[in-house]
């Protein structure tokens, strides 16, 4: 995992950087707006799909065991309940499961409001998503 953010840079968002995810250069942008978090993750140089993600259970209303996020143990795994709306681009099971995975595995589930994600991944599979989740968790949350 190498981040291209070695030198101090002037950027227009809370985070904007390029990272190596499983050998694929990935552009990541993050900004926390007052009513929404905004995230772009793309390996294609553009935003091919935009999804609006709404949490079914608001952060303050989750039952105590899940207050600190999803349960990560595979035996007792519980996903964070979310509703995704595809605003632009292909609405496939793959992208939906990728977003659900990232919500479960990163600090995205701490989002107090809805968030909008612009997603453009070359290949959606376990190793790539795990590597991506690790980069996001380290660099943003």
Tell me which residues touch another protein (CB under 8 A).
4-5, 7, 9-13, 16-18, 25, 27, 29, 31, 33-36, 38, 40, 42, 45-47, 50, 52, 87-88, 116
CA–CA separation, 62 and 65 (whole Å): 8
Of 14 and 72, the one with the shorter C-beta distance to another protein is: 14
Nearer to another protein, 36 or 59 (CB): 36
Torsional class of 69: left (φ above 0), alpha (ψ -120 to 50), beta (otherwise): left
Closest separation in Å from C-beta 32 to another protein: 9
**Nearest to another protein of 72, 91 (CB atom):** 91
Is 82 buried (19+), middle (13-18) or exposed (0-12) by CB count in 10 A? buried
Least Å distance between CB 62 and another protein? 24
Residue with Cβ nearer another protein (105 or 117): 117
Q: How many residues are given for the chain?
A: 141
Nearer to another protein (CB atom), residue 36 or residue 130: 36
The DSSP letter of residue 38 is: E
Q: Shortest Cβ distance from residue 133 to another protein (Å)?
A: 20
**Four-point Cα dihedral 90, 126, 3, 40, nearest 10:** 20
Q: In whole angstroms, how close is the CB of 101 to another protein at the nearest point?
A: 23
How far is Cα 12 from Cα 139, in angstroms, rounded to an integer? 16
Smallest distance from the beta carbon of 49 to another protein, in angstroms? Answer: 11
Dihedral angle sign, alpha carbons of residues 80, 14, 119, 122 = negative
């Amino acid at each position: 995992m190498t981040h291209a953010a070695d030198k101090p840079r002037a950027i227009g968002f809370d985070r904007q950087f390029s990272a190596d995810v499983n050998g694929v250069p990935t552009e990541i942008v993050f900004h926390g707006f007052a009513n929404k978090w905004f995230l772009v993750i793309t390996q294609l140089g553009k935003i091919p799909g935009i999804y609006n993600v709404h949490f079914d259970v608001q952060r303050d209303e989750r039952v105590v065991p899940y207050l600190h996020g999803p349960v990560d143990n595979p035996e007792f795994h519980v996903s964070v309940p979310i509703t995704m709306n595809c605003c632009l681009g292909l609405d496939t099971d793959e992208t939906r499961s990728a977003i659900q995975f990232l919500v479960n595995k990163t600090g995205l589930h701490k989002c107090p409001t809805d968030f909008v994600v612009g997603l453009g991944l070359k290949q959606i599979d376990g190793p790539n998503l795990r590597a991506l989740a690790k980069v996001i968790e380290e660099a943003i949350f």
